[in-house]
Amino acid sequence: MRILITAGPTREYIDDVRFLSNASSGRMGYSIAAAAIERGHEVVLVSGPVELSPPAGCEVHPVETTDQLRQTCLDLFPRCDGVIATAAVCDYRPRQKVVGKMTKTGQPIVLELVETSDVLAELGNRKEHRWVVGFALESQDPRNNAMRKLRMKNCDCIVLNDTSAISSLTNHIEVLSPDAETIAEYSGRKEDIARQLMMFIEKVLRGI
């Protein structure tokens, strides 16, 4: 299979030097990319800024902002068999970016934020014969929130994990079906989870 994988955070700039982002290390996505290559698949990795080296043998597309991630994925997805979306996409961006560098004035400032593009939802709406695996990082009402994302984004399944996964070497995930059933569950090092998840995808989603 030829698999599109998104990984790492996105950044939304306030001015030319400051940005909104999150603490995603990209490790889960990079581990999945490595596991897919180990199993003989072609990997197209779209990565936000991380301090990791891409696994040898994958096609890498570095991005920074959510709009860059969106456009790159929309360009690449038609030539792939499916997508595994692990990227931690910023949900909001400043309505207006300040040109140059803001300086202190001694007064509070108000930052107006607007929602960013929903990249996974767009891929889900365009999937046709392709499969879509989403990731949901949740801290409150996790299963209901994950299922809401699965349905809104037209995923074939969604991987639920919690905030303890951020910047960690280990993880615990549940794979949820459209019927809200736990169809797989894995714990351990992210590299080991990635191998198990790839075997699950090969068995359950290949050829849908």
Is residue 184 pLDDT above 70, yes or no? yes
Going from N- to C-terminal start, the domains of the chain cover 2-96+111-204
- pLDDT per residue as tens digits for the range 52-72: 999 999 999 999 999 999 999
- pLDDT per residue as tens digits for the range 85-109: 999 999 999 999 999 999 988 899 8
- pLDDT per residue as tens digits for the range 18-29: 999 999 999 999
* Average pLDDT, rounded, for the chain: 94
Residues 6+ apart with CB under 8 A from 61: 44, 45, 46, 47, 72, 76
| DSSP 8-state secondary structure symbol assigned to residue 88 | B
| DSSP 8-state secondary structure symbol assigned to residue 9 | B
Task: With beta carbons less than 8 A apart as the criterion, state whether 112 and 26 touch.
Answer: no
User: What pLDDT, on a 0 to 100 scale, did the predictor assign at position 190?
Assistant: 95
Is residue 207 pLDDT above 90, yes or no? no
Which residue did the predictor score with more confidence, 4 or 169?
A: 4
22 tagged catalytic: yes
Q: How confident is the model at residue 192 (pLDDT cuts 50, 70, 90)?
A: very high
Residue 72 corresponds to which amino acid?
T
Residue 125 corresponds to which amino acid?
N
User: Is residue 22 packed enough to be buried (19+ CB in 10 Å), middle (13-18) or exposed (0-12)?
Assistant: middle
Q: How confident is the model at residue 12 (pLDDT cuts 50, 70, 90)?
A: very high
Mean pLDDT, residues 143-151: 94
Residue 77 corresponds to which amino acid?
F
Mean pLDDT, residues 122-126: 97
Candidates 22, 125, 154, 171; catalytic one: 22
Looking at domain 2-96+111-204, its CATH class is: alpha beta
Q: How much of the chain, in percent, has pLDDT values that exceed 70?
A: 99
Q: Which helix (H) or strand (E) holds 38?
A: helix 27-38
User: What pLDDT, on a 0 to 100 scale, did the predictor assign at position 73?
Assistant: 98
User: What pLDDT, on a 0 to 100 scale, did the predictor assign at position 129?
Assistant: 92
Q: How confident is the model at residue 140 (pLDDT cuts 50, 70, 90)?
A: confident
Tokens of 77: 């997805």
Tell me the β-bridge partners of 136: 160
Question: φ and ψ at 196, to 5 degrees?
Answer: -65, -40
Tell me the β-bridge partners of 160: 136, 174
- pLDDT per residue as tens digits for the range 156-168: 999 999 888 888 8
